[in-house]
Amino acid sequence: MRRLHTQMAPAVLQSLEAYVRAVGQEALSLYVDEEGDWQELDESGWSLIRRKLLEYTWPRVILGGSSPGNPIRNRFEYHGSRRVDVPGWRGADKEACVASFWLSTEYLEAHGPEHVRALALELAAPLPWCSGNGGLAILAPIHLMGMTREVYERCMRYPGMDIPDVEIFSSTIGTRIRGPSWLTFLGQPVLSALGGVEALRARLHTPGTTVQALEGERAVVTLGEWPEAGDRERGITLPAYRELARVLEPWLYLEHRLHPDFPPEALRQWERRFLE
């Protein structure tokens, strides 16, 4: 989202409240404090989170469920920016405010894809986004020793699995597009560069692909009824995703992660997994 956080703070809180209604407040029981430690998300914790979102100029908010030693199935993460297009700030054109909402696969199976899609649209509606993605993802602590290699091996086999990193995106993505996912949200300036909704729709021919116009000269592309992981070893290469990737190629985002288990050449191969 290419706005200063202070210009859209109420919208972020509105989306968070919609997410909490969907998963239940009990599903978010922890938050990350200023030192990076998990704390109990009680009444005072919620007051702090609301204050950070509404009053801070550069908030970092991470909420999770479960307990510190167990897998977190639900998570909200937001990195606000005060440097979007700030004159004289190097890299200001790449700064963005970025939000992430996790849902478990159990939630998807229990409620079905139509419910999840409707929820994604509800979460997106208040926000002034340039782009967004909704689909299957590998949500793992890749900073842990050995975890990055495990993630790399899985993501190369299953091309429909994303590897999001909200913190990195907030300082590098600008208005670029992260590539296709089950739900690909396209706003400005990319949608106009594509010729608008009708021009985009005319370039996508795979059965099951739909393009829905949204308010504010934006759109969401849905690739089939359910999100798919694909499987290269079984020849499931996700043609709808490949078709959309070719359309979006001029605006694709190149990531900037550096890790010995995920070297630059491997990262580029993964980023172009739907193009080669």
Determine the pLDDT at residue 70.
55
pLDDT digits (tens, 9 = 90+) for 207-257: 999 999 999 999 999 999 999 999 999 999 999 999 999 999 999 998 766
Residues 60-73 have pLDDT tens digits of 999 998 655 555 78
Predicted structure pTM score: 0.93
Q: pLDDT of 91-127, one tens digit each?
A: 778 889 999 999 999 999 999 999 999 999 999 999 9
Helix (H, G, I), strand (E, B) or coil at 100: strand
Question: Tokens 């404090």 map to which residue?
Answer: 33
**Residue 164 binned pLDDT confidence (cut-offs 50, 70, 90):** confident
Instruction: Kindly list the distances between the CA atom of residue 199 and the CA atoms of 71, 130, 210, in Å, as whole numbers in the listed order.
Output: 43, 18, 13
29 phi and psi angles, rounded to 5 deg: -115, 0
